[in-house]
Chains A and B, each alone.
Chain A
Amino acid sequence: MIEIRFHGRGGQGAVVASELLAQAAFLDGKQPQSFPFFGVERRGAPVTAYTRVDERPVGLRTSITAPDAVVVFDPGLLASESVTDGLRSNGLLLVNTPRPPESLAAPPGVRRAAVDATRIALSHHLGTPMLPIVNTAVLGALARATGVVSLESLRRAVEQFVPARPEENRRAASDGYSEVRAVEGTGSATVSGPKARPPAPRLPEGPIASVSSETIHTSAWRTFTPVIHLDRCTKCNFCWKFCPDAAIEFDANGYPVLRLAYCKGCGICAAECPPKTIEMVAGA
């Protein structure tokens, strides 16, 4: 059995990817299983999905804690250690990134693969620069790097199950397949296993919450980051007024200051800034 865990952000298509992979594996004559972790499903928020592929019907109904492959749709998610949690030492880390696979940090022994799925997606007009739909390109890369499904079945699955732009998505899958680059792991493989599941904590009585949500940082949700060019700023406060994330405050001179830990990169401040002093720059 091969177990694959997908890490993406809401809206990138990670859940659809896990299902498409299952459809493709079924076309290959395998017995797949796929399901999302249903948490806070929000556009931009981290999401996880799982696919198992086996010769026999899968006899497990649990989340995947020791994956053979981890697929990361957004390099921003690599900052979170939990992405590679439990990844088998002979496993694979596949990341959507323009950087070479050699630059990827991975646990010892883990093979690393990289594909610039964002560029592929945009070249086929899949999604917007703010939210490229990278899943079919990533799946093409995964098919090549793991051999878990054939490209032919993947292309057939895309054709049958992708509701919009099937032809563009098929081409993206093929491009991902041909462009992915993989390198061996570094260091000696260590036997690792899934992290022990912590027991549920003892709680104060009654479901009453009082910790500030500012202990949560949402910067990893961003695809684009605002940059304020203060030289042209008129201190009109529009950026502050319209920010849905309370991510803008003022310095002592009344200039806006970004609180980037809470900015999700929606771009409202840039769109609403009358003298257009705010620029949205790619990356978190």
Chain B
Amino acid sequence: MAKLTIPAQELMWGGHSACPGCGPALAMRLLLKGLGPRTLVSIPASCWTVIATPYPTTALRVGVLDNAIEATGASISGLRAAADALGLENVNIVGFAGDGGTADIGLQALSGMLERRTNAIYVMYDNEAYMNTGIQRSGATPWGAWTTTTPVSAAVHGKPEPKKDIMGIVLAHRPAYAATLNPAFPEDFDQKVERARALVGPRFLHLFAPCPPGWKFDSSQTIALGRLATDTGVFPLYEVVDGRLRITRKTGGLKPVTEYLSAQGRFKHLSADDMAQIQAQVRTDWEHLQSREREDLGRVH
């Protein structure tokens, strides 16, 4: 057998209730590989509430706590406080929330957790809409995407507002660690999880989590689409340690975003102009990211 490039341990069981090709399911599996068994995961109302399977079964070989949709930040503060008070050592406290539960209704609790420097890892698995309730737009839904609450008509080309910059919001809190992760790049994913695990303080992981039924692509294409997201610059991979940003996957040149957009039914209504607009924005964001990296590098030396 070739040497494994990510940990062998499996802390997510089969038999779970995720859709075929589910990005969030793969993301959880990879996350727990990097964190190990002494992990407590607090999960708000989201796809993972259901994926984790009904009573009396559970899909994770770690402790799982259900919490109200808007309260994940507070929940992990409570778990950490109890772990400290009870003298429980070497425990990873993790919040695992969707984009709606994080960037919309859970933003206040997330901000509170980051500000009070809770020693925990907050994970936002981003499938870019309220998927558990059946594909309604969230603050993390990208511009132009079809959802059931941003229906496409002659006048309206999907969601008219851009995606909320959750990493920008998080970084404004100066977390101990923040990174973007994509399960299509498992080694990069694992390195970031293990780096986060080793640090102390509030840590934030933004997980790219493709959703075949919500984004309307074939379930076999989850990884291929994930790769395209990063290689087109739509979802660049980077990390920020102590305020210093480093891009962890550099591409010689970005692939055109049309490759990424045209692979998904949720963007099929977009015109050439629409796509050009998205392309321009992605390029600008990518340039900003690169210049931020150069600046931060300059700051170190």
| A/B contact in complex, CB under 8 angstroms | yes
Binding site for B on A (CB under 8 A): 10-11, 40-45, 128, 130, 207, 209-218, 221-222, 234-237, 241-247, 250, 253-255, 259, 261-262, 264-268, 270-272, 280
Given A266-B21, A271-B224, A254 and B15 touching (CB < 8 A)?
no
Given A254-B1, A267-B219, A267-B220, A44 and B56 touching (CB < 8 A)?
no
* Nearest A-chain residue to B33, judged by Cβ: A241
B50 at the interface (CB under 8 A from A): yes
- Picked from A11, A43, A242, A245, the residue with its CB within 8 Å of the CB of B16 is A245
**B67 CB, nearest partner CB in chain A, Å:** 13
- Picked from B15, B22, B26, B56, the residue with its CB within 8 Å of the CB of A210 is B56
Q: Is the CB of A40 within 8 A of B17?
A: yes
B20 at the interface (CB under 8 A from A): yes
B10 at the interface (CB under 8 A from A): yes
Given A42-B19, A42-B50, A244-B26, A212 and B213 touching (CB < 8 A)?
no
* Nearest B-chain residue to A263, judged by Cβ: B14
The docked-state distance in angstroms from the alpha carbon of A128 to that of B218 is 9
User: Hey, which chain A residues are within 8 Å of B14, CB to CB?
Assistant: 213-214, 218, 245-247, 259, 261-262
Q: How many residues of B contact A (CB 8 A)?
A: 42
B221 at the interface (CB under 8 A from A): yes
Q: Is the CB of A268 within 8 A of B15?
A: no
Binding site for A on B (CB under 8 A): 1-2, 4-6, 10, 12-23, 25-26, 29, 50, 52-59, 134, 183, 186, 212-213, 218-224
**B41 CB, nearest partner CB in chain A, Å:** 14
Q: Is the CB of B213 within 8 A of A11?
A: yes
Given A211-B56, A241-B6, A235 and B1 touching (CB < 8 A)?
yes
User: Hey, which chain B residues are within 8 Å of A215, CB to CB?
Assistant: 15, 57
Main secondary structure of the interface of B (DSSP, over half): loop
Q: Is the CB of B16 within 8 A of A209?
A: no
**B107 CB, nearest partner CB in chain A, Å:** 27
- Picked from A217, A270, A280, the residue with its CB within 8 Å of the CB of B15 is A217
**B122 CB, nearest partner CB in chain A, Å:** 22
**B96 CB, nearest partner CB in chain A, Å:** 15
The docked-state distance in angstroms from the alpha carbon of A207 to that of B57 is 11
Q: Is the CB of B4 within 8 A of A237?
A: yes
* Nearest A-chain residue to B220, judged by Cβ: A267
Given A44-B19, A45-B17, A242-B26, A213 and B59 touching (CB < 8 A)?
yes
* Nearest B-chain residue to A271, judged by Cβ: B220
Q: Is the CB of A212 within 8 A of B218?
A: no
- Picked from A11, A213, A243, A244, the residue with its CB within 8 Å of the CB of B13 is A213
Q: Is the CB of B58 within 8 A of A209?
A: yes
Q: Is the CB of B2 within 8 A of A268?
A: no
The docked-state distance in angstroms from the alpha carbon of A244 to that of B218 is 14
